[in-house]
Amino acid sequence: MKRVESIDLVRGAIMIVMALDHTRDFFGMPGISPTDVSRAGAALFFTRWITNICAPVFFLLTGTGAYLALRNKSANALSRFLLTRGLWLIVLELVVLRCLGYQFNVDYRVTMLLVLWALGWSMIALSALIHLPLPAVAAFGIVMIAGHNLFDAVRPATAILAVLHGPGFVVNGRHIVFASYPLIPWIGVTAAGFALGRIYDWAPAARRAFLVRGGLLLSAAFVALRALNVYGDPSRWRHQPTTVATVLSFLNTTKYPPSLLFLLMTLGPALLALRAVDEGTPRWLRPALVLGKVPMFYYALHFPLIHLLAVTVAYARYHDAHWMFESPDLARYPFTAPPGWGYGLPVVYAIWIAVVVALYPLCRWFAGVKQRRHDPWLSYL
């Protein structure tokens, strides 16, 4: 299958931005939430806010990539692939990355159900949805995205509700399992992305017009609905003592689970980004294109690298690093911060850049391997 360059490019760009948020998780100041507009400054807020686009684009383009795979796969073959790859992502999340990336331990006292967990289940759901007519898949995705906030007042009293529309505890006791990426409406975003794939069968002019109009429409809908402050997000914005703080409150939408307004705020610019690079990749963005061809490989490597860097810094600073292997409760996830731990944004940004630069040669090598070879297992990375 010939890859769509603009999709790889946008996917690669959001993978780069994603690493910034995860670097902040390990090296930022503990105890200061970037979404707490009463304490976080604008720089910290926007360091987190800019990364909000990552997960929605990842899910959206997963669906789009599945549609494009139909160019050289039958629906039944694609369904089997989505099912098996979804199961593999769940195992990758709960076993490999949980122990070797996020937490560096195997005690399982704390386990978070994160993005690969939700992405895996979204693929499993899509393996069934692709057998429906495309308008039905699109309607399913749109209804799930637009309507799920009707259930904001329902608190997850069971594990199933926590998984579907938490966030909440699946298990809360000696061993904690917390569903931070509830499946609704991530499955809806993936279904909408599958329907979006149809535009890549259109003439270029029609596709570009759709991306511009769709991006502007979603962005305008976000501003209008957020201004009304009635529906679309369980957290209402409020006037703050300063104009800047009020703007931050307006933009501070809910990610867990992603609200309608959160998705409008992120998917609108995502469509505009797809249009901006639809005619070709600027030379300065070629490295992002490489990462976008091997996103799962990059994802699986960047967490262990960031965590390993934190271990190295802790050992150099304290002559010990045991804290970096300890996560006994949810408040100390994914590691226990040593005394005085945490660095300002300049250090966080410098480490982030170093991580991306370090991973680029490996990703370029693996992208070459995938281009030269077509072993079935390579499609799972």
Give the pLDDT band (50/70/90) at residue 3: confident
Question: What are the structure tokens assigned to 302, written together?
Answer: 């960047």
Give CA–CA dist 61/270, Å, rounded: 10
Give CA–CA dist 2/112, Å, rounded: 36
Find the mean pLDDT for residues 238-267: 95
Give CA–CA dist 295/182, Å, rounded: 22
Give the pLDDT band (50/70/90) at residue 158: confident
DSSP annotation string for 177-212:
EEESS-STTHHHHHHHHHHHGGGGGS-HHHHHHHHH
**Tens digit of pLDDT for each residue in 30-85?**
988 898 887 788 999 999 999 999 999 999 999 999 999 998 899 999 999 999 99
Give CA–CA dist 86/92, Å, rounded: 10
Q: Residue 377's pLDDT is what?
A: 82
Q: Residue 76's pLDDT is what?
A: 96
Q: Residue 378's pLDDT is what?
A: 81
Q: Residue 381's pLDDT is what?
A: 79
Q: Residue 288's pLDDT is what?
A: 96
Find the mean pLDDT for residues 187-203: 97
Strands (E), the chain: 110-113, 168-171, 176-179
Of the two residues 114 and 380, the one the predictor is more confident about is: 114
Q: Identify the CA nearest to 104 among candidates 321, 298, 274.
A: 321
Give CA–CA dist 316/190, Å, rounded: 43
Chain Cα centroid distance, residue 264: 15
Find the mean pLDDT for residues 342-367: 97
Give the pLDDT band (50/70/90) at residue 285: very high
Give the pLDDT band (50/70/90) at residue 302: very high
Tell if the pTM clears 0.85, that is, is over it: yes
Q: Residue 174's pLDDT is what?
A: 84
Find the mean pLDDT for residues 209-215: 98
Residue 39 contacts residue 31 (beta carbons within 8 Å): no
Q: Residue 371's pLDDT is what?
A: 86
Find the mean pLDDT for residues 162-190: 91
Measure Cα distances from 86 to 161, 199, 236, 291 in Å: 21, 25, 35, 21
Q: What is the mean pLDDT of the chain?
A: 94
**Tens digit of pLDDT for each residue in 365-376?**
999 998 888 888
Give CA–CA dist 80/366, Å, rounded: 25
Q: Can you name the residues that pair with 110 across neighbouring β-strands? A: 176
The residue length of the chain stands at 381
Q: Identify the CA nearest to 333 among candidates 121, 103, 138.
A: 103
Q: Residue 1's pLDDT is what?
A: 55
Find the mean pLDDT for residues 286-296: 95
Burial per residue of 15-25, b for 16 or more beta-carbon CB atoms within 10 angstroms, e otherwise: bbbbbbbbbbb
